[in-house]
Amino acid sequence: MEKMKMETEEQSKKNVELLEKVFPNCITEALDENGQIVKSVNFELLRQMLSSTALDTNESYEFSWVGKKACIAEANRRIRKTLRPIMEDSENWDTTANIYIEGDNLDALKLLQESYLGAVKFIYIDPPYNTGSDRFIYPDQYEMDKDEYEDEIGLYDEDGNKVFQENSNSNPRYHSKWCSMLYQRLLLARNFLTEDGAIFISIDDKEQENLKKMCDEVFGASNFIGTIVWQHSIQPKGYLGTFSIQHSYLMIYCKSIQSFKLGSFERTAEDNKAYSNPDNDPNGPWRSGDVRNALYRPNLIYDIISPSGKVIKPCPNGWRWSKETVAEKIKTGEIIFSEDETRIIRKIYLKNLEGRAPETIWFGKDAGTTREGVSELKALFGRAPFDTPKPTKLIDRCLKLVDDPEMIVMDFFSGSATTADAVMQKNASDGGNRRWIMIQFPEEVDENTNAYKDGFKTIAEVGKERIRRAGKKIKDDNPMMTQDLDTGFRVFKVDDSNMNDVYYSAGDYAQDMLSLLESNVKADRSDLDLLFGCLLEWGLPLSMPYTSEKVDGCTVHTYNDGDLIACFDENIPDSVIRFIAKRQPLRAVFRDGSFINSPAKINVTEIFKMLAPDTRVKVI
């Protein structure tokens, strides 16, 4: 019977599988460090296949920093961790489709890879800006040894004098640590995006340049949508001798420029001021548009004859359309002649405009400010737990550019959970069913903050409470329209594997030692822990409904009406096995200890072959 791995896949293996689809002849077999046969890449042959583009020099344009290779390796490395459900901290556990995860977002992103691969249409993150005072609470396993690092970057000159100040902005370690932290998370984030999805990243001047280069690599320079300048503060600072910084940036990349469609904003009365209807055109208000071609096109250079026979000479680069198209537009009235018939006028009708093209400068009056973000928290908590939260208006404005009422939204630097609040408000206003996934490291809050003074120990605690209060406020403000609004969330915590070490390395234990081990499952893990651990490996979403029932003294868990059925009891009788098999689930899971011996396992296999031949059966 097949055994579940209970560990994440190595991303490098998936990359090999993708490469095999394009260059199957470049994939071969080799022995790994354990002597097992694995797929490997014949790089020399791959180089030959790409001979016209392969470089014969060590010089090329690239963005690099000390520790980059190590951070990529860490992003690809598998982990033996899990997400443990925390029902007592959740809201509306049985009915919600929203997910809140506490833990290192690198681990969380790895654990969610199978369940949400290519399923998230909108990602927003507000990572640390590397201000010099940021605390990088994310583990730095990928970093070099300090002495090795200093030698690599030449921190000391030949006389042993330090070249860089350790904590100054001129020290490459200052930037490389930040780059390594974020780069590997972006590598994983790309895997979540749908083909028509996009990621929005908040940043300021200190790392904006480096972020652009990293995103060009991860998402592809051709998938760059734009950079928005956001006026985060209207009130000027009172410091003389320096600029009053009132802006930061939003950098936007999509998964595939061929599939992505940029949304628009609603038109206002101010936008429509230029439209009128002086000639009582039945098509309504219009304004004149350009009839010139931007580039020289000899085939679009021709004369246009007016109704009275006057000749209108072409523009220097030619007309915007072909001669036949112009004739058709004249016929329909979209092109008219000036009163003296010396020029043509193109009509752009207001009725044909679906919205307003988004600008690259967002003013605080439209997109909110950090002061508004503080006011929102004050309205929920009495006083703001933090000083510079993002306003929900900013996230709402982003949502309009990649909108889908059924999409999944992700934020893996969740902070005070502004994104979750904004999504719930958006659903309340338009009846959408957007779901969200928030990820936040349980970083301890500073003792000087209002959050600490109000009894919150971690940022995650603040975020969860903000969602609870925001959801209640939304429903209280509009009870008639929000009866079915999902303001709940399932809480999960990143934790060590559910399995004891013996599960992964049984060969390291002698037979007499194995007999002393009661179970390969850790003693503090529940059935629910095991169930959701299995969902992660099998790539099932964590928000689906499930039921548990007693059958002949055993507990049977059914997930999403048969996507998976599990029973983790010991000594499961044949009657329960038959009960599960008759349900013909797509997948079935048992504990290895559920069966007395090998003949019992064989019997289970035979039962499923007979009653549910298409069910995949595994054990843990």
d(CA 104, CA 493): 10
Domain boundaries, the chain: 8-61, 81-265+360-493, 286-352, 507-619
* pLDDT score at 516: 46
Sign of CA dihedral 210, 231, 403, 224: negative
DSSP per residue, 532-551: HHHHHHHT--TT--EEEEEE
User: What is the bridge-based pairing of β-strands 99-102 and 435-440?
Assistant: parallel
- Per residue in 132-175, pLDDT tens? 655 555 444 444 455 554 554 454 555 555 443 343 455 556 78
Contact 196, 260 (CB under 8 A): yes
H-state helical runs in 259-416: 323-332, 364-367, 370-381, 392-401
Host H or E run for residue 18: helix 11-22
- The burial class, CB within 10 Å (0-12 / 13-18 / 19+), for 270 is exposed
Contact 334, 346 (CB under 8 A): yes
* pLDDT score at 90: 98
Average pLDDT, the chain: 90
Contacts of 374 by beta carbon, 8 Å cutoff, 6+ apart:
384, 386, 387, 388, 389
Q: For a pLDDT cut of 90, what percent of the chain falls above it?
A: 74
Mean pLDDT of 52-70: 76
In this predicted structure, the answer to whether residue 351 has a pLDDT above a threshold of 90 is yes
Half-sphere exposure of 72 (CA within 13 A, CB side): 10
- Band (pLDDT 50/70/90 cuts) for residue 56 is low
Domain 81-265+360-493 - what CATH class?
alpha beta
* pLDDT score at 112: 98
Contact 327, 261 (CB under 8 A): no
d(CA 45, CA 58): 19
Given strand 554-559, what is the order of strands in its sheet? 2-3, 616-619, 587-590, 564-567, 554-559, 546-551
Q: Which of 127, 71, 109 is nearest to 190 (CA)?
A: 109
| Per-residue 3-state assignment (H helix, E strand, C coil) for 164-206 | CCCCCCCCHHHHHHHHHHHHHHHHHHHHHEEEEEEEEEEECHH
In this predicted structure, the answer to whether residue 60 has a pLDDT above a threshold of 80 is no
Of 17-31, 41-55, 163-177, 242-256, the one with minimum mean pLDDT is 163-177
Q: How far is CA 296 from CA 57, 144, 344, in A?
A: 39, 56, 19
Contacts of 151 by beta carbon, 8 Å cutoff, 6+ apart:
none
In this predicted structure, the answer to whether residue 105 has a pLDDT above a threshold of 90 is yes
d(CA 50, CA 55): 9
Geometric angle at alpha carbon 42, from 37 and 48, rounded to 5°: 165
Contacts of 340 by beta carbon, 8 Å cutoff, 6+ apart:
none
DSSP per residue, 574-597: HHHHHHHHHT--SEEEE-GGGSSS
Mean pLDDT of 507-516: 52
Q: Which of 492, 591, 482 is nearest to 534 (CA)?
A: 591
Look-up of token digits 């001047």: 205
Q: What is the 8-class DSSP label of residue 217?
A: I
Of 66-80, 146-160, 309-323, 526-540, the one with minimum mean pLDDT is 146-160
State the Cα torsion 168-171-173-177 to the nearest 10°.
60
Mean pLDDT of 231-236: 91
d(CA 120, CA 412): 12
d(CA 271, CA 285): 13
Mean pLDDT of 427-444: 97
Mean pLDDT of 279-288: 95
d(CA 43, CA 20): 12
160 three-class SS = coil
- Per residue in 329-342, pLDDT tens? 999 999 999 999 99
440 three-class SS = strand
